[in-house]
Amino acid sequence: MADQKKESKPAVSKAAHGQSPNIEQKPNIYEAEYLGSGTFHFVKPKRKSAKRRQSRLNGTTTGARK
């Protein structure tokens, strides 16, 4: 009995976070329009103020090269 291997369940991949059925997504948040000659016009939501603050706190000093 000690030689018997435990049967493992097959790995089930879950949906990606953005594709989760529990999270409602607003339609057309991100848009891309091709203007021609390799030029695009992107529409996306602005960064939240909390994210901007954290980026500023954790980021390097302005103008630093090293």
Domain with 38 in it: 27-58
The confidence score (pLDDT) of residue 66 equals 60
Has this prediction a pTM greater than 0.95? no
Pull the structure tokens for residue 27.
Answer: 């339609």
pLDDT at 60: 67
Query: What 3-state DSSP class applies to 31?
Result: strand
In degrees and rounded to multiples of 5, residue 20 shows phi and psi of -65, 135
CA atoms within 13 A on the CB side of 47: 8
Helix (H) or strand (E) holding 57: helix 49-58
Provide the token pair at 38: 């390799």
Could you read off the pLDDT of 4-57 as tens digits, one per residue? Answer: 666 666 666 665 665 666 777 777 788 899 999 999 999 998 889 998 888 888
Is 19 part of any domain? no
Count of domains forming the chain: 1
Residue 3 belongs to a domain: no
